[in-house]
A and B are shown apart, each in its own frame.
Chain A
Amino acid sequence: MKVTVKLIGPLIYEGGFSEKTLELPGPMTAGELSAFVKINKKRPTIMTRNGKAVAPGDALAEGDRVVISHIYSGG
């Protein structure tokens, strides 16, 4: 299954990339994808899929665009 992952802010340096399309080894939830791209589990994050908020337990689908971000607070 292919998904595109976009990391935001400091997560880029943690995950080692900004955006890329990944071939996943099998079905994954959003939370599992976050771990797969090596985002620290302890770090509070917010994830969206195709522009809408997604919970860590939600299953991903072929072609999804997933954005994982540090939780911002608007400065």
Chain B
Amino acid sequence: MKGWTGYILRVNLTDKTWKKESFTEDFAKKWVGGRGFASKILFDELKPGIDPLGPENKLVVALGPIAGIPAPNTGKVVVAAKSPLTGFYGDGNLGSNVSSQLRKAGYDAMIIEGKADKPTYLNIEDDKVEFLPADEMWGKGTYFSNEWIYKKHGKNAGVLNIGQAGENKVLFAVIRSLEGRAGGRPGIGAVMGSKMLKAIVVKGTKQIPQADPELMRKLGIDGLKKARELDQKSGWSKQSTNAVLAWCNEVNGLPVQNMRKTSHPEAHKIDGERLDAARIATYGCPSCTMHCGITIHDDEGRESELDYENIGMLGPNVNVFDLKKVGSLNYLCDDYGLDTISAGAVLGFYADAIEHGAAKGDFKFGDADKGKTLLWDIATRKGEAGNLLADGALKAAKVYGKNSADYAMQVKGLEMAAYNCKSIPGQALAFGVAAIGGHHREAWIITFELKHSKRESYGPEKAAKVIELQRIRGGLFEMLVACRFPWVEVGYELENYPKFFNAVTGLDWTLENFWTAADRAYSMIKLHYLREFPNVTRKDDYPPAVWFDKSNADTEGPQKGVVLEYDKYDSLLQHYYDQRGYDKRGIPTMETLRKLGLEGEAAAAGKYAKLN
């Protein structure tokens, strides 16, 4: 087997043991890597109904056959576990040297089991695994911890670590790495914290096995050069992802005031031009050709790394239109290890719930200073509000009652990213059917909706576009594992990726092979969901009720009076199910599962719930 190392590292924190386990070529070809590996491993090894924050949950770190190999944006890592936020499979990706270092250590994935009896970090160097005390880092933020590790283990080490939020099991705690940014939005950092695992440090010295290393070297170098040229030619990096903020404001898609509003006259104060003007440095992940992290000095003089999602959710979503203050909220999220999207959504929800009399408190929209205090309260579960909000918007809404769940801006418990879709049906669907809950990573179709369809359409073309992008973004890129930006933002050709894959594996795959593998991974995640929630209904794929509420429509502007329509959304959902081969609950049919070679998994899931 080439391309894959052929080994998974299994670490048990309870008894401080580890072993190197091989996997077959059939497994590799069926699941590719990253999300594919993680979803299959966790399906096979976790019993439904386990406590996601108990020792029986497992943390998977998974790479793919081109991870860590010099080529455009291949310095990515997938982290996954049963999510404490959503109650089923959850994952995310982040940039880190772990991508190359773990592969050089001889592994394509790592499974972490059990629970340490005291704060611990793992030090992995080729065939050696050490369980080391993390007392000096425990209780500290991610900046301190990451630097502490660099001082002890060198800057070339790959590092994954958590902040106070992960330690305190905040349900939207992420895993961080200073070599990239953050990943694991559905509380994968909390799973790490529940295991008393502060950090993972990896160094490897071996060769990554490749079928044709000379060809891959040439393809990789050419690719890096081409992707950089495309970025420079397009000018994308000038404002990075935050250029879209001004556009969202113009087309009534900006999340303002817990997504109550869709634009704001002060949005220009935090847009891409202002971000570029305030730039002090630019950062990217390992092997990055188009750095998306722009840093500014926040209102306390700290360097804060911003992009659209964190500005959108910690800015307009909480009515903060001061870039330095947004930077400050973002810095604290990063340091505490809180997901910035969920943090912004939770703050917005809390202010909204107070305004509507569902919650008590003195936090108001626009109060960035109080927001900073709240972030610490959340990260440390301090006080009634901090402890409750640490469980995410939906769980907090269930406690607050008074219909507040209607404006908890989430799907399946995961807070949605920074696009307000009450008048954008296709993107609302993309959030509704994202594999792990309300995530933008897998499909974003707003420009397609406006340019190639009709904004008000609920037609099958939008369902088809969501599926097309899920296969690419949530499938190919999450399984290989690589960043989608060179393709999605500056047009680096998708056909390059099978070439990389074939050069390292010696196989002869086309994009079609990847679409099948992607569909398999999506079905696998659906079976996770079915197993955990046997009473699943199609309502689970609906966005929040407030997007359907006429009283929440824009009161002026081109989208005045427009909200989603239940009947039409349901028909759009049915288009998606029909094209996917899912039943009326949104679960793959037996026929679909058979076509994907998932008969065994279907039988396993069938013990817990009915398949059609």
Contacts and interface: CB of A to CB of B under 8 A. Distances in A.
Interface string A42-75: 0100101011110000000000000101111111
Contact of B273 (A18, A69, A73): A18
B24 interface: no
B130 interface: no
Given A6-B250, A8-B247, A74-B440, A53 B239 contact: no
A9 B485 contact: no
Contact of A9 (B244, B252, B309): B244
A51 B272 contact: no
Contacts of B447: 46, 71-73
Nearest to B238: A10
B455 A74 contact: no
A70 B250 contact: no
Given A9-B243, A10-B234, A10-B235, A73 B488 contact: yes
B444 A75 contact: yes
A68 to B, nearest CB: 10
Given A46-B451, A53-B451, 5 more contacts: A9-B272, A10-B238, A52-B455, A72-B243, A74-B444
Interface in B441-496: 444, 446-447, 450-451, 455, 485, 488-489
A10 B247 contact: no
B558 A52 contact: yes
A27 B111 CA distance: 65
Interface residues of A, number: 23
Contacts of A12: 273
A72 B246 CA distance: 12
B348 to A, nearest CB: 20
Contact of A74 (B235, B239, B244, B451): B244
Given A9-B239, A10-B236, A46-B447, A72 B250 contact: no
Interface string B221-261: 00000000000001110110101101100111000000000
Contacts of A36: none
A10 B273 contact: no
B419 interface: yes
A46 to B, nearest CB: 5
B308 interface: yes
B559 interface: yes
B307 interface: yes
Interface string B70-87: 000000000000000000
10 contacts: A9-B272, A48-B250, A51-B250, A51-B251, A51-B557, A52-B455, A67-B247, A67-B251, A70-B235, A70-B236
